[in-house]
Structure 1
Amino acid sequence: MKANRLMLNDLMEVNPRTGVITLNNKRMALMSVQALGILRRDLVDTLSMERAKGFLMRYGRACGQKAAEDLEQTYKWESTEELMLAGPALHTLEGVVTVEAENIEYNDDTLHYTGYWRNSFEVEEHLYHYGESKTPVCWILVGYASGFLTKLFGKQVLVHEEKCKGKGDPYCYFVAKTFDPADKKQQADLRYYEAESLISELDRSYKEIKELNENIIESERVQKKLTDLLLEDESLSSMLEVVSAALHKSIIIDYRYGKNEGVFLEEEAFIEENLLENPNNLIDNQKMMEMYPIHAKGKNLGNMIVIGEEKNKKKEELIIQRALTICSIKIFHAFQLIQSKWQKKEEFFEELLNSEKDEETLQIGSHVFEFNSQNDNRVLTILVDDKESNELILEHLNSKYTALDIFLKDKYIILILSEDYNKNLENFAKDLQASIENKFKKSITYIGVGRAVKGLKKLAKSYQDASRICDFLQLVHPNDSHISYFEELEPIVLLLKATDQEDLIDFCKKMIGDLIEYDKENQSNLLITLKSYLDNNGNLQKTANDLHLSIAGLRYRLDKIESFGKKGLKTGSGRFKYQLAINMYFSMQIMDNSSNIL
């Protein structure tokens, strides 16, 4: 017998008197596809999509096994291959699906069988009730083919639907293979064939629903506690204690840029300081660390990090999601208060710079600042090459230096340093720069420190010093971070203010005018090279390091500079004149806000 000889007229009999229909001598019952679709839908709605899939695959496998047994016993087949093709032929005759075999390869141990399913009733019904799926939907067909081939081949055969019209593919395509324990895809499919009664399916669904309800009640209890703490304006740490107790896990709030805080279980207290500094320092590989972003009004405020022995379960996820909502409100409110303080400081400082008010009148509004205006204070300004990161750096510095007045003014980050900081100013400035560059790895920072002054009105002078120093540093050191102080540049500033500027310009032209013109025309850096060479007292190695040049490259530039007749570089007085001319040139550029002084 050949599979293509199977004809519906030969196989099917209808007794008009009794209404009994047989196909291949087995009783059949005509039933509409719509009815099967409704049954399928009700199973999905009752059991869930995954459980209904397993139920229908097992049903299909039982049908396939029975069909294989009947066909094998009823006919004498020309070959095993013909018998394998008989199942698809029978399925087509029954109106379930049109099967087109593509390739069959087998031996005593293995089978590999591929083909197409067209006009699948399961696709039609799934699309009608649920729309397009993300995964294949021909569950009965997969089970039927698996059962049919397993029965005939005598070894476990699993069918996998690689393409399915129910998930948007142009056709349904199946692959049947003998079971391989090492095949993860087959291992995943095999679990759907584990026998389970409908009662047990319903019982498990009931238990899951009951568990979900209990989880919701518990998460609502935690949410109510957190809401009460929020309304009572309690600290964030008290909220984290509630969450930590509910989860029995350690919690860290990893702020975007700021000092982290957290609550740790007693047995994990020894890692508290290390993890707060950097949550990625979790050394214990037995611990699970899960991260949840904190957002409010489209702003990224940081992350909530949960540390425990194992991955969070459904109940814990529900609690965490509700806790995130309340904690986000608390964190965002605190952030808004901080921003409001920054804004007030910025506005008052702007008034201080531009107002004609006297000292006594300005003192009335000075309460927005932390410093005592009657003592010596300095303005320190920070200029960063990437202006976009100014606000992030501001957040970082405000969390690190809580006792200082820190805010933005135009392109500068402003710090007002009290008398206490003046005692160890150089170390503070270096620590400040290191702190920024450790957090913002690619940033180039310029720090200018203005003169020490008493009173509010004179702060404008200190600010002017500091901001000009920053601009000066950026101009002469475009590729490296630098710090400078008013005391270092004070002689140049005073000279510029006290001397006729035309005389100064003539002096600069005489000493370095030709280098300036050459740099402009050739986009070179001879003037910067000369300044670095003089700043390093003629030390070639230090100058080369400063300019990121090789010694040979530096010598080439110095030879070029000497070709302009700069022979005075070899004498002390000559070096002083060139250094004075260069510093005056860059200072005049900053003070006159012009690049065309010479």
Structure 2
Amino acid sequence: MNMWDKTYKLNLLGTGLGLQGNQNQQMDCKIDFLEEEGAIKLLGTRRIMFSAEAFGSLRKELIDSLGVEIARQILFRFGYQCGVKDSLPIKKMSNSKDKGVLLGPFFHRIQGIVLAKNQELLFSEEGELKLMKGNWYNSYEADQHVRLYGLAQDSVCWSLAGYAAGYASEILGEELLCIETECAAKGFEACVYEIRPVNQWSPEVRGPWLFDHQPVSMEKNLAVLLAEERLRNYRQQLFHDCLGQVMEQADSEMLLRKLIYYSHRLAKASGTALFTVQQSKDKLVLKDFIGEKNIITQLTSSQQLASKAYYYGETFVHNEMDQTMDSRYLLAIPVLTDKEITNVVVMVTDNKTDLETIESIKLLIQFSGVQLEKINSRNEIAALCLAGNKLQSEQDFLQQQRDELTFIIDTTKEFLNFILKGRGITELVQEMGEQTQAHVVLLNVNQEIFGRNLEKSRAEELVYRIKKQQGKGLNRNLTFPLLAGERKLGEMLAVERHVRFSRKEELLLEAGAKIIALEVLKEQEAQLQYRFNFFESLVSGDYTSIEVLVTQANKVNFMLDGTYQIIGIALENLEPEANTGNQSGSFYESLYHKVREYVKSRSPNSKALIFSNQIILFLSYAHQNWTKKELEQFFNQMLNHIKKYFPKCGVYLVAGRICNSLDHYPLAYKEIKSCLSIMSRLKQRDRIFYFEKMGVLAILFEVEQSKLVDFVNSVLGPLVDYDEGTGLELLPTLSLYVQNNFNIQVTARNHFISASTLKYRLRKIRDLGIDLEDSEVRLNIQLALKITEYSN
């Protein structure tokens, strides 16, 4: 026997699992290395050893070639069959199902796949498995995924889950499913698996993990993909054909006929109509071009469109239908001409229209509106030509318009393809620069470059010279705002390289700027939502783990180990009738930008955001040790800054506690909300409240206001009545006396009152039954005076 031929015996007694009867019976698990046969055998079954990294490369090849879903199915089924095969010798050696099933983690471990530790094993009274739960440590599958792809969003130990499901199902004779609920590839310390009967998992949870254990038919999948690609190509070609047909029209009536016809085709509608807006009557009156497919004779904007609409951009889809439409879907899209809604295209469909089709119809209608503007402009110009004989002939003008429109259609197709293919803003800027032979630079609202088609240093130089009006030696440049509605997201600068921009190139750049603005808006909304979710988790204390919170904090540039003071700001509209809607989101967005504008110049590392119609500011102490005087000056200037832009609003500003650990933030936010509520109740407008100075008052003001009034009257009422009857001013005197720590000499000296006068008034106070020597009486007086001070 060659030295290479060896047999290793693993004692299963150490596992605590007895086989074939006596629990203490020893059973050897042999691993045979047979050089002459070129084989390794475990329990008589041949094994193959592979490099984990090589298997990781195979896994990557499957994912990159076939996609995640198919790769997951293949690896899950592979693991399932491995588990089934490993269970067969155990079934022969063991009559105990529970002990047999616990050997699964042991066989996983000795093969170097994963360190599996079972945590829980439950059987029903009938002997059927209810739950098997445990941890996987050092999973090769998780390690390889992180090595090749980085941290994952979903669980990735597919073959391990398949092995556990196959092994347990074969041992127990049940249809079981293993699901990985936590995964080390997602950042957890260990993977967590659970095995249950298939019907015990909800359809939503088991869906991605439940396969039929049959081979994946690549031919069928490829056929489906090809069919989907053909459908996409057909839709795209249909849209381009429709767009070309509509944009070729030079007559507004014919253009609207074509628009209705092709919108009808794209939506696969059962009925389509066009409504013309009559501004004077506030009605959308039907102007039908479909003949027999007449839907509605008259539709008021307030009752039938606006009130029941769910908005999707400029598209709104009705879920509640007019009685004449049974239970079908109504899709209505406005036609904008000269930035006003002049028409509405209404389509009735039997099924809900998918978003891709809606976007295609929106673009068709959008360009139809542009063409209507061109036609209207052409008609006006034609009238001027006839009147003054100063412009070129109508035929030449129309030809020029057709040429421009053809150019716009062709270039718009390219831009649409960029977006549909998932290519980003950078590639779109490059394409625009190549087509117009221009330098293109994108600036955000802070005038920072976020897109360009030339070297960074040259782009910065161009921007500097344009903004400083030092354009000497520069070719002509154009500026296009990046707009989302009325909100400016930045601007696009285009500088000629060699020749002047043609009219077509200007139109191309303008169309490109609109598409870029939409992409920027989507990115910003995603970032804002991510930022809001992080701060909501921070102030609520509700987060998955510290590791996840640290990752989120890094992405929003928030220093979890830093020091911040929490500031709360709220507004009260003092003229609601003159400012209808000012308490809406846009009102607080305006306040947010003004606060952010003020804070950024003084504390760049600070963060601000909108929470429930309140501005919450995280004032950073990084690189800046605020003194008490500096903070008071900072808050006063901020209050004046807000009042400058919101003069008809009451401002509530609360300076909360300083936070330097995670458990401080939820408490600080709760205190801020409470203090803002108190200020609002007490109408303490245009003042700065320091939560730390409120002390016990913060608790008292949570009490019902009528009870506070009763308390103040019981303590100070006799003095008020006496002063009103005599004019002796006992209450102001007592207030000064309390402020000077009940010291007669100090009070007299600081407030220019003779000691004898002060003593006389204090005797009068004692005569009214107020014993100023009693410590409890003193406390009640101090509280009553403070409540009076804060509540006016």
Larger Rg: 1
| Larger fraction in helix | 1
TM-score bucket (shorter structure): 0.3 to 0.5
